[in-house]
Structure 1
Amino acid sequence: MPDPIAVVDRNAIVRVANPVAEESIGLKSGTCLHDFMRAAGADGCKVSGFLHLCLASTESLPTRFELTQGAPTVVYGSRLVLPGSTSDGLVLLRFDQRLEITSKFASLNDKLAAMTDKARHNHIQKNQLKDMVITDVLTGALNRRGFEQLLIREHKRARRYGRPLSLAVLDLDFFKAINDKHGHAVGDRVIRHFAELCGASLREQDSIARIGGEEFAVIMPETGLAAGEAVTERIVEATKSNVLSIDNIRLCYTVSAGVSELHAAEAIDDLVQRADANLYVAKDHGRARCISDNSRIN
């Protein structure tokens, strides 16, 4: 019986498959080879590496795939150039479940294994770098970039599905005086302490961001104004009742906050500006308090 044969392009899409490929292993034209092989238990990174090597070689290269469905399979791949064709990046694949891979090609498997490990490592590094770009080093909260990215996503979701979204902007009271009196190292401890208090007061769906020196923001999806104000009030009250001990220093500090809820068809800038305006009202009326759209003092 002939072997299953298929032609795939550089994007791993099957252009042509012979009848044996369709009948015996279910590989059809238009199928994504990555999806097909992963469904059969193959390593997706290894599949990508194998196609890359085939495109770079003029020889027929075999490798063995350990599949959870069916017997171990040796796949032979070679770059395909059709006379008179303008298509580039085609690979001819032959699937053989009867043969064991010979020692002649053992180095190819080793090379593929190394490429697979490198791909995984690069993926992990990419995610770590992405986290570093949007994370505040001092507190571990989102930084301003992370805050803006998340707020854009939540704003789109709230607008699309008609769901509530509330935003709180918080600013530590008299923070400059703390820095001037005790130094920036103590000021940093205060900022970290406040971020921890926020984390303990927030719900699972809420996100805290440090958007300035002593300024923070809390994004509250699926949250109306009353609930958003209640969450923010917890933070304000927790700050009032906590004492931070640093060496021989016992510090008490407070925070002021403004809360707003997204209005229908409202832009992000308007939501942020209303929260900021409410924060300034809180500052102007004694600090250590939370002011929302409903409780704003005129």
Structure 2
Amino acid sequence: MTDGPLGLARFEARLPQVWDVSRVDALLALALEDRPQEEAVALARHALTLALDLRDEARAARIELHLSALLEGPAALEAAQTAQLRFEALRDSEGEAESVLRQARLLQDGPALTAALIAAELGAQAGLASLEARARRRAGDGFMHFGNDAEAIRAYERALALTGTETPRAEDVPMLLSLGALHLRADDPEAAFRVYRAASHLTHREGTIEHTDALGGLGTAYGQQGDVDRAFRFLERAAQLAAEHGDQRRHARFLNLMASAQDKLGDTARAASLYQASLDVALSAGLVDAQVNTLLNLAEHDLQRGGAQAGAQAGARLAQALVLATSARLGSAQRRAARLLTRWAEAQGDLAAALAHQRTWTELDQAASRRRAALREQELAATAQAALVLAVRHERLEVRQRLDATLAATEARLTELRAEADHWKDAALFDVVSGAHSRRYGIEQLNRDFRRSLRAKTDLSLGVVGVELPLVGNEAPAELQVNAVLRTVADLLDQSVRDTDVVARFDQHKFMVIFPETGPAGAQVALRRMIERVTDHNWAEQGLGAPVAVAVGLASRGFLQGSQLLLDVADEEFYRARREGHGALSVAQ
């Protein structure tokens, strides 16, 4: 490219050779093709530079949103934030919401939840169901992170409702699995069963990890509902699929759940065998968390069996689990181990040990409560920040709307004023009484014609026509009669001169007639024709007892210096003609 990075020069043949929006679109199309990331980023950045040069904010925003998807880390976040601001200014709600949702994917913890809630609200306000659903799902993930299962359930269920179909889609499977786990934690096995069954139908016979989790969830839901036989069958199939996938953590977890089902059925030997199998899987894979969980389940299993040997085994396993959980900082496992050790010590009759373990359990539980409280504070801060951002955005939009309304009203008023000014400007070109051109127009036209005459060395003549009205008895004619006479004289003047000549009102009872490129002889012909028409006109029809008289002064440019001097000379000639009598024409020599 001649205007961009040299590394992109090979694309020049595929680009328009004009620096306009077509080139921007072509660059973006190239960036959207399947190509190396570095190359795609370079193309997109070049398209952005050109869009900004062209001041095309809409294209710039779209390119920045695409860049945020190509990039990662701070650069991607900055691109998404800039795109959001541009889309907001453009009143593009969909682009704005997409930009905020992209930020939610790039951010973590509280800021991620804030962005997801903002995107969801923007999608809801704009009626963008699909976009709102994606944002609600992201918000559900955020609420799960902060341990607010109730809000997470509401967010996920809202997202499912927004899909517009009663049957969930394949892309909804991860959300369904999360929702099922939440229902199980909320001790609502019926709701969990419905969700897991939908996930199972969507992944039926696929043998995927999602299918494995759906089967395991169904088994767990059956177990909580008391249908232990069905629970075991589903959990057994889930464990087989997990083993086939080589997912040892899931395999160990499902073996634990199968063992729990056998315990409920009363087959303690089978349960112990399954617990041991789960422990072996965890040990072989080096999964400390799975190992600790299995040790705790085995210890609880031993405590339920009772007996000295089982009690000794339980104590040893609990001690081992506590050490491993403390080393790996598995808080919930530590608390469970301390609780079970308290129970074990009480069963052994060792009240001092029970009291010590009870103290440890209490301390761990209080620490967990503090962590939950801290998470709750972060969640509340995130939701409050989302509400604040949306409120400020709403106010900002209202201010912009008021400004737009004010600007629109101002523009409308300016348009009215321009129209009014044009009207008055046009009106100023003509004399209201006589209908001839105004004095101002006549003077400006005389100045223009005088300059043109000087440049082109052509003739220019100017006549001043004065109107004398007869008395009615000893009184002057009424104003309406005077105005009518002036209009008539102006019409007779227009009829007597050429279209290129200009008739303008000069004074109260005077007109000026400009004759461009005309010498005195030609001007006299027109002026005498006008005098004859005035003399022959039937003034009695206008209520006058005697005819109107005119006197005319005429001057030509000659050696006169300036248009004002030409007008003065013509005016002097008018007064000379007036002294000579009615219908006289005096020409400056």
Same structural fold, with TM-score higher than 0.5 when normalized by the shorter chain: yes
Judge conservation of contact 2:574–2:586 (CA < 8 Å) in 1: yes
What's the CA shift for 1:118?
6.6
* Counterparts of 1:242 and 1:256, CA distance in 2: 16
Q: Answer yes or no: is 1:127 the counterpart of 2:422.
A: yes
Q: Deviations over 1:203-251 (max 9, x none)?
A: 1111111121111111111211111111111111111111123465454
Q: Answer yes or no: is 1:229 the counterpart of 2:532.
A: no
Query: 2:533 aligns to what?
Result: 238
* Counterparts of 2:18 and 2:410, CA distance in 1: 30
Please give the residue correspondences for 1:14-53 in structure 2 after superposition, counting only pairs within 5 Å: 22-24=18-20
What's the CA shift for 1:259?
0.8
* Counterparts of 1:130 and 1:188, CA distance in 2: 22
Of the three residues 466, 471, 483, the one matched with 1:177 is 471
Q: Deviations over 1:261-282 (max 9, x none)?
A: 1124621222112212221221
* Counterparts of 1:219 and 1:122, CA distance in 2: 33
* Counterparts of 1:285 and 1:251, CA distance in 2: 19
Call closer, same or farther: CA 1:188–1:265 in 2, change over 3 Å: closer
Call closer, same or farther: CA 1:196–1:221 in 2, change over 3 Å: same
Of the three residues 550, 557, 562, the one matched with 1:267 is 562
* Counterparts of 2:489 and 2:475, CA distance in 1: 18
Judge conservation of contact 1:256–1:289 (CA < 8 Å) in 2: yes
Of the three residues 144, 153, 167, the one matched with 2:439 is 144
Give the letter for the 1:273 counterpart. D
Query: 1:280 aligns to what?
Result: 575
Judge conservation of contact 1:243–1:250 (CA < 8 Å) in 2: no
* Counterparts of 2:475 and 2:22, CA distance in 1: 72
* Counterparts of 1:137 and 1:221, CA distance in 2: 25
Q: Secondary structure at the match of 2:576?
A: helix
Q: Which has the higher contact order (CA 8 A, sep 6+)?
A: 1
Of the three residues 503, 514, 523, the one matched with 1:208 is 503
Q: Secondary structure at the match of 2:552?
A: strand
Query: 1:53 aligns to what?
Result: none
What's the CA shift for 1:177?
3.0
What's the CA shift for 1:125?
2.8
Give the letter for the 1:227 counterpart. G
**RMSD of aligned residue pairs (Cα, Å):** 4.0
* Counterparts of 1:112 and 1:20, CA distance in 2: 38
* Counterparts of 1:122 and 1:181, CA distance in 2: 41
Q: Deviations over 1:149-200 (max 9, x none)?
A: 2212222222222222110001113x26359243232222211211111121
* Counterparts of 1:224 and 1:62, CA distance in 2: 65
Call closer, same or farther: CA 1:197–1:113 in 2, change over 3 Å: same
Please give the residue correspondences for 1:65-214 in structure 2 after superposition, counting only pairs within 5 Å: 122-173=417-468, 175=469, 177=471, 180-214=475-509
* Counterparts of 2:539 and 2:17, CA distance in 1: 70
Judge conservation of contact 2:539–2:547 (CA < 8 Å) in 1: yes
Give the letter for the 1:153 counterpart. R
Judge conservation of contact 1:243–1:251 (CA < 8 Å) in 2: no
What's the CA shift for 1:121?
5.1
Call closer, same or farther: CA 1:110–1:219 in 2, change over 3 Å: same
* Counterparts of 2:526 and 2:535, CA distance in 1: 15
Judge conservation of contact 2:429–2:441 (CA < 8 Å) in 1: yes
Give the letter for the 1:177 counterpart. L
Q: Secondary structure at the match of 1:283?
A: helix
* Counterparts of 2:565 and 2:431, CA distance in 1: 25
Higher strand share: 1
* Counterparts of 1:286 and 1:274, CA distance in 2: 19
Judge conservation of contact 2:462–2:566 (CA < 8 Å) in 1: yes
* Counterparts of 1:275 and 1:221, CA distance in 2: 15
* Counterparts of 1:135 and 1:22, CA distance in 2: 50
Unaligned runs of 5+ in 2: 2-14, 24-54, 56-84, 92-125, 128-400
Q: Secondary structure at the match of 1:149?
A: helix
Q: Secondary structure at the match of 1:226?
A: helix
- Bigger-Rg structure (1/2): 2
Call closer, same or farther: CA 1:182–1:270 in 2, change over 3 Å: closer
* Counterparts of 2:467 and 2:416, CA distance in 1: 41
* Counterparts of 1:276 and 1:202, CA distance in 2: 19
Matched positions, count = 208
Query: 2:514 aligns to what?
Result: 219
Judge conservation of contact 1:165–1:220 (CA < 8 Å) in 2: yes
Query: 1:254 aligns to what?
Result: 549
* Counterparts of 2:445 and 2:562, CA distance in 1: 15
* Counterparts of 2:550 and 2:411, CA distance in 1: 50
* Counterparts of 2:451 and 2:467, CA distance in 1: 30
Query: 2:586 aligns to what?
Result: 291
Give the letter for the 1:220 counterpart. F
Call closer, same or farther: CA 1:293–1:185 in 2, change over 3 Å: same
What's the CA shift for 1:129?
1.2
Unaligned runs of 5+ in 1: 2-18, 28-32, 34-56, 64-101
TM-score under structure 1 length normalisation: 0.57
